[in-house]
Amino acid sequence: MAWSPLLLTLIAHYTGSWAQSVLTQPSSVSGALGQSVTISCTGSSSNVGKYDVQWFQQLPGTAPKTLIYYTSSRPSGVPDRFSGSKSGNSASLTIRGLQAEDEADYYCETYDSSLSGHTLL
């Protein structure tokens, strides 16, 4: 099978009270079909380190879909090859067994107590 890279892009924006980003994700992650990739979401003790993290997937031309809530829980219908975890001030989304349909934008979101708002990256 030929190597077929997937590009998983991460678009940053903030939806709280202040126009600033407080979470950091890589601008893109790529992997071959069948491989595993991990997307990081790094914050601080006032957001990722203190509160649960949500992950969203947005396919072209569609609304964002919740992949992970409460840091590691999956909604009904989301395959178990998607998993979430957190350690300290960093959260991660791991996608196992990459498929062509996984090519999408991925966002992490959490609350930030220092800004009195939710942050979405």
State the pTM of this model: 0.79
Backbone region of residue 61 per phi and psi (left: phi > 0; alpha: psi in -120 to 50; beta: other values): left
Q: Is the pLDDT of residue 21 over 90?
A: no
Give the number of other CB atoms < 10 A from CB of residue 56: 19
Tell me if 21 is assigned to some domain: no
For residue 85, is it within any domain? yes
The answer to whether position 107 is within a domain reads yes
Segment among 5-9, 44-48, 66-70 with least mean pLDDT: 5-9
- The domain total for the chain is 1
**CA gap 47, 104 in Å, rounded:** 25
Enclosing domain of residue 52: 37-120
Beta strands 28-32 and 5-9, pairing class: antiparallel
Distance CA 22, CA 13 (A): 9
Q: Is the pLDDT of residue 72 over 50?
A: yes
Q: What is the CATH number of the domain that holds 66?
A: 2.60.40.10
pLDDT-derived band at 62 (thresholds 50, 70, 90) equals: very high
Confidence at 55, pLDDT banded by 50, 70, 90: very high
What confidence score (pLDDT) does residue 118 get? 59
